[in-house]
Amino acid sequence: MKLLSTNNISVKYGSNVVLRDVSLDINEGEITTIVGPNGSGKTTLVKTIIGAVTPFTGSISLTENLRIGYIPQRLSIDYTLPMTVQRFLNLSHKISKEDCISILRTAGVPDLLKTQMSNLSGGQFQRVLLAGALQGSPQILILDEASQGLDQAGSAAFYKQIESVRNEKGCAVLMISHDLHVVMSASDKVICMNGHICCSGKPEAVANMPEYHGLFGAGTEGTLALYRHIHDHDHDNLRKFKH
Amino acid sequence: MLDDFMVRASIAGVGVALIAAPLGCFVVWRRMAYFGEATAHAAMLGIAIALSLEIPIFAGTLVAALLMALTVTQLSGRSLATDTLLGVTAHGGLALGLVVASFLSGVRIDLMAYLFGDILAVTRVDLLLILIGFLAVILLMYWRWSKMLISTLNEELAYSNGINPIREKFFLTISLAITVAVSIKVVGLLLISALLIIPAAASRTFSRTPEEMVIITAIIGVISAISGLQFSYLFNTPPGPSIVCVSLAIFLILSSIRPLRSN
């Protein structure tokens, strides 16, 4: 079943077009990963899907009452704001203590209920955010480079967690990632972006497409190529914006 | 009972401390300290205009504070950093207000009362305004609480929950303008910011959740108001600054016992 689709959406920041004619479908239970160089509009696409950015053309259709669980790119809880993990999990609506523990267990951090958010380690923090996103039993989880700030092992473990959550809860996953090898092994569908969708499909198929090599360099799936690419790629009419 | 000026002053002080508690916490959480100050300073222009148009001071300050807050919200992020913009509008508004006030002939204006407050001269009408302001802010906070909290945490997180953080910011701005308008009589526009920030800053280490922090902030605010007034009465010091000094003392004491607690 189709959960959401974007129909030819384009987004402008001021006079700069950052997304052109993006159409995609997200189906139930599917892990879709968006890859692309910095400034390619990945974050803008995700922001448009959750309603934080309005497209100037095109439309987004969501299944009725679609429950979205969102994990932002960078959420820093300021030390000035006191917040226990339990209180954080009750922000959008109240759930019982048992439910809190249960979603924390699903997210892989069952014992943190009373801990202050500002005292969590990077890996714990991302898992608590995951638990927060799971709070309303979402049909789709949306992650914007959620492994940022984690080391290689930490981020691999985090994506493994996401996969096991998908298997346990059956929710769809839409994520942005820079870890190409993780992406290629854990996704059902990969979308390559550079202001528009360059190519998309199953990871094995995408890995052989010329557009993918154009973006990430031939014969590699490492992250080095991604960074090399950033400096030699032409961004003429694309505004580079910070992620 | 309300015939005694000290009773009226105490009620006003406690009322304003209670209004300032949730707002002060938001100001600290959202790093809006300078924003609160700018809103308060702009109120001087509102006072001057209210005096020249012979409309109630309360209405003038409320409108000026609101306009100021909305202008800054609109302009921020364009070509100047928000703190620069606030510096320009805050002190610009204050200076302009003082100049406009100086043109008012025939009206004897006690500037000190507006700058530093005149809590001992609080009237029954002032008390009524504080009560209305209190009810308005508390209802607004109660109504929007979790939405404001999520928006404070992360804007995208708010959007994904179907909350518009820009709207929540607007509600917060209105609450701040109301707080400024009712607080001028109590501590004066130069010290409103202190009333907002110091109790909230003092309570941070002793709270585990946002709600606890608001309650502790309110308690510190109320203690400051009552003891500040008593101090002022006994030693003949200006009441507004005395209230702020008491909350400063509480802040210093609580900050110094923090290391003991965290060990």
Please, what is the angle between helix B165-187 and helix B192-203, to 10°? Answer: 110
Contacts of B31 in chain A (CB under 8 A): 78, 80
The region that residue B248 occupies, defined by phi over 0 for left and psi between -120 and 50 for alpha, beta otherwise, is: alpha
Contacts of A72 in chain B (CB under 8 A): 154, 156-157
Give the pLDDT mean for A138-166.
Answer: 83
How confident is the prediction for chain A on average, in pLDDT? Answer: 82
Q: Is the pLDDT of residue B184 over 50?
A: yes
Contacts of B154 in chain A (CB under 8 A): 72, 75
- Cβ–Cβ of A52/B149 closer than 8 Å? no
Instruction: Tell me phi and psi for residue A208, to 5 degrees.
Output: -100, 0
Q: Which of A203-217, B73-87, B231-245 has the highest mean pLDDT?
A: B231-245
pLDDT at A223: 42
Q: Which of B55-64, B99-108, B207-216 has the highest mean pLDDT?
A: B207-216
Alpha helices in A170-243 (DSSP H): 180-186, 203-207, 210-216, 223-232
- The candidate with the shortest Cα–Cα distance to A142, out of A130, A158, A127, A156, is A130
- CA dist., res. B93 & res. B99, Å (int): 10
pLDDT bucket at B1, cuts 50 / 70 / 90: low
Contacts of A75 in chain B (CB under 8 A): 153-154, 157
pLDDT at B187: 87
Q: Is the pLDDT of residue A73 over 70?
A: yes
Q: Is the pLDDT of residue B95 over 70?
A: yes
How confident is the prediction for chain B on average, in pLDDT? Answer: 88
Tokens 């990077």 belong to residue? A122
Give the pLDDT mean for B45-58.
Answer: 87
pLDDT at B54: 84
- Cβ–Cβ of B157/A83 closer than 8 Å? no
pLDDT in tens, A13-23: 888 889 999 99
Give the pLDDT mean for B81-102.
Answer: 85
- CA dist., res. B197 & res. A166, Å (int): 44
Residues 6+ apart with CB under 8 A from B98: B44, B48, B111
pLDDT at B43: 87
Total beta-carbon pairs less than 8 A apart between chain A and chain B: 63
Q: DSSP 3-state assignment of A126?
A: helix
Q: Using CB atoms, pick whichever of B156, B161, B210 lies closest to residue A81.
A: B210
Q: How many other CB atoms are there within 10 angstroms of residue A40's CB atom?
A: 27
Give the pLDDT mean for A117-138.
Answer: 87
pLDDT bucket at B39, cuts 50 / 70 / 90: confident
Give the pLDDT mean for A113-121.
Answer: 89
- CA dist., res. A26 & res. A31, Å (int): 9
Chain B: residue whose CA lies nearest to A91: B146
Instruction: Tell me phi and psi for residue A24, to 5 degrees.
Output: -155, 160
pLDDT in tens, B116-168: 888 888 889 999 999 999 999 999 999 999 999 999 988 888 988 889 998 99
A223 CB-contact burial (10 Å; exposed 0-12 / middle 13-18 / buried 19+) = middle
Nearest C-alpha of chain A: how many angstroms from B74? 16
Task: Check CB contact of A51 with chain B, cutoff 8 Å.
Answer: yes
Give the pLDDT mean for B193-198.
Answer: 93
Contacts of A114 in chain B (CB under 8 A): 208
Chain A: residue whose CA lies nearest to B212: A82
Structure-block tokens of residue A66: 């679609």
- CA dist., res. B216 & res. B199, Å (int): 8
Q: With pLDDT > 70 as the criterion, what percentage of chain B qualifies?
A: 94
pLDDT at B259: 59
Cβ atoms of residues A113 and A86 within 8 Å: yes
pLDDT at B261: 53
Q: Using CB atoms, pick whichever of A52, A70, A82 lies closest to residue B208.
A: A82
Q: Is the pLDDT of residue B23 over 90?
A: yes
Nearest C-alpha of chain A: how many angstroms from B31? 9
